Chain A
Amino acid sequence: MRIILCIKGVPKPETVKVDPETHTLKRESAELILNPFDRSAIEMAARLKERYGAEVIVISMGPPNVVPLLKEAYGVCADRMILLSDRVFAGSDTLATSRVLAKAIKKLSPFELILMGLKSADGETAQVPPETAALLGIPSLINVKDIFFEKGKIVAVRETEYTLEEIEVSPPLIASIYPKLDYLRPPSFKRLLEVRNKEPEILTSKDLGLKEEELGLSGSPTRVSGVFEKKFVERGEIWEGDPEELAKRLIILLKEKGFLKA
């Protein structure tokens, strides 16, 4: 049984810079951390590996500074690491990203399950898992809380706005995982030591058989025409002073405005 685990490096919030020309995030210069939503996907992969002895391949599309994150996933449960890296990938929107992931996933056939985080903390679109599945022509489910295998079928539990559903599907499936599993295991020290001398396999656009016009900015149908700073209303009143005095003044104001019983 093969599970492909997709993770993403997101810029540490304080280090984000926007490219003044393309208006996309500059990932090469930012300090990358593991997308917090991916932790649940890694945990789900670890559980399935434990339960069914599944092989876990972790893949990530990004600049070379995502390698430590691949190693982090290896430290938890991955057996193989693949970095999808090429300068022509830079600036990809969700469609262009999904094209890269779909090709890479296809190259790893046969597989039963692809796991991703619900969304990324930077783009926050949550679009890549279903979009990749549509490109591969396979089913997708988002916000999946549990997965098990039963007689060769995948059974996934997902919560919708209306109900909790148990869904049966023949593999393969792309599932994005509910971000708040009850437990997230840390990487094992032994495996972190082991991975120190390992390097991920690298796949480029050429390896994936993708053309430059399908990738990066030119392959992205959504374009940023500009960015502008949020304008604020005129500066309001400012109160300064010690906490006790300010608390007193605020209580008076809340009473005046009727938010607090006089």
Chain B
Amino acid sequence: MGNFILAYGEYHNGKLHPASLEILTPLREIADKLKKKLVLFLLIEDAERLKEVKALERTLCDEIWYLESQEFKDFKDDLFGKVIAELVKETNPYGVFFPATPQGMALAPRVAGELGVGLCAHVNAFEVEGETLYMLRPSYGENIIAKLYSTTLPVMATVSLHAFPIREGNKRPEIKEITLKESVKFESKLKIRKVKPIKREPSRLTVAKVVLAGGLGLKRRENFEKLKILAEILEAEVGVTRPLYYAGWAEEDRMIGVSGVTVRPKLYIGFGISGAIQHTIGMENSEFIIAINTDKEAPLVKMAHLSLIVDAEKFLDALLRQLKEGGN
């Protein structure tokens, strides 16, 4: 049992979600180490449209499986969960992995619940020791990483967004249609009766070259507004820690860290951020990290390339004044 690994391909309207390609990167390594086949699978309403998905031609997986039904046109949590659980029961994969997209987060727990197996959330690193697959994720409150494993098969996890880069494979994977042996009724209790497109500006935070992030050490909201002025001068994007998001200073797509966004800028400056792991996990790969903090022992100060031991509020004021005077 379990000689292959399933990765969920989130398909919508002719496109594959890039996060589904991201998760293939660590899964390829795991599959090689454990000598398993890697299969990307998707649920699609019209298999003809697979041709539109150019990304599928050069992926890291060995095979691509699809299940086809008109009912898969819109994402229906209960139906997709039932179908994937049945697919797992019939094919016995070693593991099933989902990107931690909103859809993946809605779907993976339904599948795990149907199967009665363990599910790890927001995994951002894997380790293989012997035959065991360990999944790593930050833990709450303290600066620690928890190393988890599952006592049930298939091993299941959702994988953090942007935690892994997309890599291309060098062979064209075989594409196979899968039909379920058991006659599962492709019926959902959810009836999607109206769909409105949403226009959302994608946050430029994830691709920004310079990121200025604010934490509780900024003390007052008006200081965060000052940080935005500095961001304009430096052509930077602003981000926040979780407490500031909770306080309503910024939208969720500005929150850096676990369950937020991951950034990899050339320059990251943290203003009044102590550096809880929930935040640092989302910025630790920045090329040059500057911490502005009064506390020499703060975790962000320890991990920064340069730390300015100073009150973030006063420093920001001084910096803005000097930049204005200097004509920048």
Contact = CB atoms under 8 A, between A and B. Distances in A.
A58 to B, nearest CB: 22
Given A165-B74, A166-B193, A243-B310, A251 B114 contact: no
A161 B303 contact: no
A93 B196 contact: no
Interface in B62-119: 74-75, 77-78, 81, 101-103, 105-114, 116-119
A254 interface: yes
Nearest to A237: B306
Interface in A231-245: 232-233, 235-244
A226 B113 contact: no
A82 interface: no
Nearest to A262: B328
A123 B119 contact: no
A116 to B, nearest CB: 12
B193 A167 contact: yes
A151 to B, nearest CB: 13
B145 interface: yes
B308 interface: yes
A246 interface: yes
A62 B287 CA distance: 43
Interface string B110-154: 111110111111100000000000100001111111111111100
A201 interface: no
Contacts of A18: 139, 141-142, 144
Contacts of B42: none
A250 B195 CA distance: 50
Contact of A131 (B78, B112, B198, B210): B112
B186 interface: no
A220 B118 contact: yes
B234 A222 contact: no
A95 to B, nearest CB: 6
A251 B141 contact: no
B179 interface: no
A140 to B, nearest CB: 5
A127 interface: yes
Nearest to A240: B309
Interface in B278-327: 280, 288-290, 296, 299, 301-311, 314-315, 317-319, 321-323, 326
B189 interface: yes
Contact of A139 (B77, B120, B277, B301): B77
B189 to A, nearest CB: 5
A126 B234 CA distance: 36
Interface of A: 11, 13, 16, 18, 23, 25, 36, 93-95, 98, 119, 122-135, 138-143, 155, 159-170, 180, 220-230, 232-233, 235-244, 246-248, 250-251, 253-254, 257, 259-261
20 contacts: A94-B109, A98-B113, A124-B258, A124-B259, A127-B112, A130-B110, A139-B189, A165-B194, A166-B195, A167-B191, A221-B117, A222-B118, A223-B148, A223-B151, A225-B149, A227-B147, A233-B303, A248-B322, A259-B234, A260-B328
**10 tightest CB-CB pairs across the interface, nearest first?**
A134-B113, A221-B118, A16-B141, A125-B121, A166-B194, A127-B109, A222-B118, A130-B109, A247-B318, A243-B318
Given A247-B315, A250-B308, 15 more contacts: A95-B118, A130-B77, A133-B78, A134-B81, A140-B78, A142-B77, A163-B198, A165-B74, A227-B144, A228-B145, A229-B144, A232-B299, A235-B302, A247-B322, A248-B322
